[in-house]
């Protein structure tokens, strides 16, 4: 009887954890979409303000490549998107988007 109760408790706690993780991933995904939109807006403003358009464009392309390598999109693909690797990837992207946004705002006084 104790084993049955233990199995039920473990089952319930793991499903609660899975639901919480799924909710966290949804929030991270929503945050990334918002940050992408903010970065695109700031980039467009910076692009109109600068005379060094080609350099800004090259810098942005290099940053995007860096973000992909740094956050390990390859890890997510290799593990078929397990929740842990997806969480790592999204958290990493969030950090880098925030840094890039702050950098462009500072550089172009936005």
Mean pLDDT, rounded, of the chain: 82
Predicted pLDDT of residue 20: 62
Query: Residues 89, 95, 99, CA angle at the centre, nearest 5°?
Result: 140
Residues 6+ apart with CB under 8 A from 85: 72, 75, 76, 79
Cβ contact 21:87 at 8 Å: yes
Predicted pLDDT of residue 89: 87
Domain boundaries, the chain: 53-109
Predicted pLDDT of residue 15: 46
Evaluate if pTM is beyond 0.75.
no
Which stretches of the chain score pLDDT less than 70? 1-22, 73-81
């Amino acid at each position: 009887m104790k084993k049955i109760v233990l199995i039920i408790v473990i089952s319930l706690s793991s499903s609660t954890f899975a639901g919480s993780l799924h909710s966290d991933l949804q929030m991270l995904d929503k945050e990334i979409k918002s940050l992408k939109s903010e970065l695109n807006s700031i980039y467009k403003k910076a692009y109109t303000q600068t005379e060094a358009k080609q350099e800004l464009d090259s810098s942005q392309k290099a940053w995007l490549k860096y973000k992909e390598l740094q956050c390990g999109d390859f890890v997510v693909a290799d593990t078929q998107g397990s929740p842990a690797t997806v969480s790592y990837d999204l958290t990493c992207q969030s950090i880098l988007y925030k840094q890039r946004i702050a950098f462009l705002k500072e550089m172009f006084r936005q």
